[in-house]
């Protein structure tokens, strides 16, 4: 599919010619949206970072998708939790949660899924640009906290996670769903408390040392706005399975095949 410049003014004419704005990954059915290359404001206080174009999952990976991965690979089921109660029990999940994000997956599980799907976990700079747009906004939808625009402890009722397609008013400027709220999302990077000090100098190499991995975005378990900011970051043990954490995937942007070669 090709983008309409009128509908997506953030994609330049050059990028519309070069890339499709939305693609479907054949292996797992994930939809991924183009995040164009160029500068954006990262961190806090914000500073300019320039990264190449990439495609980011429109949503987190769902229980339904993860079930297919398990069926094809024999990978372990997310039936145990180091924190909270797992959604999956006796080999499956509630039918009405097929489109909810899979939880109780650790970093290794998420990486294995991404590899199976021919995708990757996003770096935290990619994740941040996917949620933050270009202008350093605090939340995917803008500069002010809005409880109604993401899944959190104040609006979940008696539930926990929500469908990955809920809260459309809280999508990022690129179109990504729930980059704030619902579940913490694993990133590829090791956690380094001083990583953004290096990024500020122009050194964008990911941390090479560290025993924990980055999670971003906040979850249904939390209610304080600070946890849902696009610049917020926490670190989890890569072996930690939490019922408030999941993941989305990404892939590098490549020119799609065109008819006639």
Burial of residue 211, with CB atoms counted within 10 A of its CB: 0-12 exposed, 13-18 middle, 19 or more buried = exposed
Label residue 12 by pLDDT band (50, 70, 90).
low
Label residue 19 by pLDDT band (50, 70, 90).
confident
Label residue 15 by pLDDT band (50, 70, 90).
low
Give the relative orientation of helices 63-73 and 107-117 as an angle to the nearest 10 degrees: 80
What is the pLDDT, as a whole number, of residue 1?
30
Q: For residues 37 and 208, what is the distance between their CA atoms, to the nearest angstrom?
A: 24
List the single range of 8-22, 58-72, 111-125, 235-249 with lowest mean pLDDT.
8-22
Average pLDDT, the chain: 92
For the chain, the maximum distance between any two Cα atoms, rounded to a whole number of angstroms, is: 54
- What are the boundaries of each domain within the chain? 19-252
9 has pLDDT over 60: no
6 has pLDDT over 90: no
What is the pLDDT, as a whole number, of residue 3?
33
CATH number for 19-252: choose from 3.40.630.30, 3.40.50.2300, 3.40.50.1820, 3.90.1580.10: 3.90.1580.10
Label residue 17 by pLDDT band (50, 70, 90).
low
Q: Cβ distance 150 to 59 under 8 Å?
A: no
CB atoms inside a 10 Å sphere around CB 196: 18
Q: Cβ distance 213 to 236 under 8 Å?
A: yes
Residue (of 62, 47, 84, 66) closest to 195 by Cα position: 47
What is the pLDDT, as a whole number, of residue 8?
47
């Amino acid at each position: 599919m090709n983008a309409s410049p009128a509908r997506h003014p953030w994609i330049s004419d050059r990028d519309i010619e070069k890339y499709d704005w939305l693609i479907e990954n054949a292996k797992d059915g994930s939809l991924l949206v183009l995040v164009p290359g160029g500068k954006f404001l990262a961190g806090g206080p914000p500073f300019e970072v320039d990264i190449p174009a990439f495609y980011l999952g429109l949503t987190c990976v769902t229980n339904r998708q993860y079930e297919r991965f398990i069926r094809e690979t024999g990978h372990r089921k997310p039936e145990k939790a180091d924190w909270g109660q797992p959604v999956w029990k006796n080999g499956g999940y509630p039918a009405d949660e097929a489109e909810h994000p899979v939880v109780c997956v650790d970093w290794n599980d998420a990486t294995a899924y991404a590899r199976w799907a021919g995708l990757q976990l996003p770096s935290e700079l990619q994740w941040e640009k996917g949620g933050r747009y270009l202008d350093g906004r605090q939340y995917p939808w803008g500069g002010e906290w809005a409880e109604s625009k993401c899944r959190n402890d104040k609006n979940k009722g008696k539930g926990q996670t929500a469908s990955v397609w809920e809260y459309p008013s809280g999508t990022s400027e690129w179109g990504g769903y729930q980059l704030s709220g619902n579940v913490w999302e694993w990133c590829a990077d090791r956690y380094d408390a001083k990583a953004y000090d290096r990024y500020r100098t122009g050194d964008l190499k990911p941390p090479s040392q560290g025993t924990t991995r980055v999670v971003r975005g906040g979850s249904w378990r939390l209610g304080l706005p600070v946890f849902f900011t696009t610049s917020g970051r926490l670190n989890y043990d890569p072996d930690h399975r939490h019922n408030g954490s999941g993941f989305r995937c990404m892939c590098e942007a490549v020119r799609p095949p065109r008819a006639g070669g």
